[in-house]
Structure formats: C-alpha cells, structure tokens
Amino acid sequence: MSVKAVFFDRDDTLNYDPGYLGDPSKVELYNGVPEGISILKNDLNFKIIVISNQSGIARNLITEPEVNSVNNRINELLSNYSTKIDAFYFCPHHPEFSEKPCNCRKPSPEMVFKAASDYNIDLKSSYFVGDKISDVECGNNAGVKTVLVTTTIKESERLLLQNQGKTPNFVADNFLDACNIIAKDSTGGNV
C-alpha cells in the first residue's frame, strides 16, 4: 500500500542556517517545527522526508559524517516531542566544485523519486515544503504539491518564480503555517 509524504528542505526551513552547518551543537530548529512535524506524522500519518542540497561537501567546507551528525541532532531534538524525520536524502555535489555533473541536485526531483521508491510513496498525495526557488521547482518537477515558506525568501525571488510560472501551490508565513495548510488541504478542508 502506498503512503503519503511531506518532503522538507532542511536549512532555513527546519533549522536556522548559519552557513554550511556541520556542527550538531549549532542546530537550532525554527519555532513550530516539532509541533508541525508531530501533526503531520503522528496525527495525519505522513512520512516525513528531508531533501537537501549540501554543496558544502563538494566545497570541502563540511563532510558527509558532519551532515549526518547534524541530521541526527535534528532527530534528537524532535524526539523530545515524540516525533522524527523518517529519512534524510542529500546531494553532496555542486556544479562548480564537483568533478562530474550530478542528477540529484535540486531542483532535480531525483532524490524525491528515490525516496518515493524506497518508501512506496504516492507522490500525487504528497507535498514539498521549502524556502527557495529550487525547492518549489523540485516539488513541481516531482509532481507533488508545493508550499513556499517565506521566512527567508526575498520578494525578488518570489517575483521571479511568479514570472516564470513556477508558483507554489501554497505560500506560508512560517513552518507551522505550512504544516497547517497541508493538514487542511490533505483532509479536504478549505485552505
């Protein structure tokens, strides 16, 4: 039986991004993240999957073990609220710093498709939440509904999306707002 999922960007969506986060002691979740994930996972039975670009690895600024330790720290913090991320997928590449081109870097939907295959996810009943143009494009490319969190995006980036006809399905003021939008939409409520 297929399941539904919410795919989240990590940095500046779930947690504050100090730039190439590799130190788990510096992980600070945004307000509403534990509560929002708990609603989606525990109350509405969504799989929770993180899809992130981690180009700091290709740039030799952070390592894969450091990224994994940050991901583990996020789940430690979420465990205090009896919830967690089911899986983390990340692209370690960057076009200017990697030896060969990759197919996984957002806005490519490859990581979403891999997660969908790994967890038998029905993409038509799933969502992608992020704070960047590449997150909306990734979700659109994967065929899921998209939610743009406007916590850190510049108005010029939003206008660029609009001008390119790549607008998200929903726009949220913050993380918890995004989760409430998904809760309403997925249960047939008005958004």
Q: Is 17 a catalytic residue?
A: no
Q: Is 11 a catalytic residue?
A: yes
φ/ψ of residue 185, rounded to 5: -65, -40
Of these residues, 9, 131, 135, 177, which one is catalytic?
9
Which tokens go with 180? 């409430």
CB atoms within 10 A of CB 164: 11
H or E, element range at 3: none
Full DSSP string of 10-76: -BTTTB---SS---GGG--BPTTHHHHHHIIIIIT--EEEEEEE-TTTTTTSS-HHHHHHHHHHHHH
Distance CA 160, CA 183 (A): 28
Asked if 93 contacts 104 with a C-beta cutoff of 8 angstroms, the reply is yes
Asked if 146 contacts 169 with a C-beta cutoff of 8 angstroms, the reply is yes
Catalytic amino acids? 9, 11
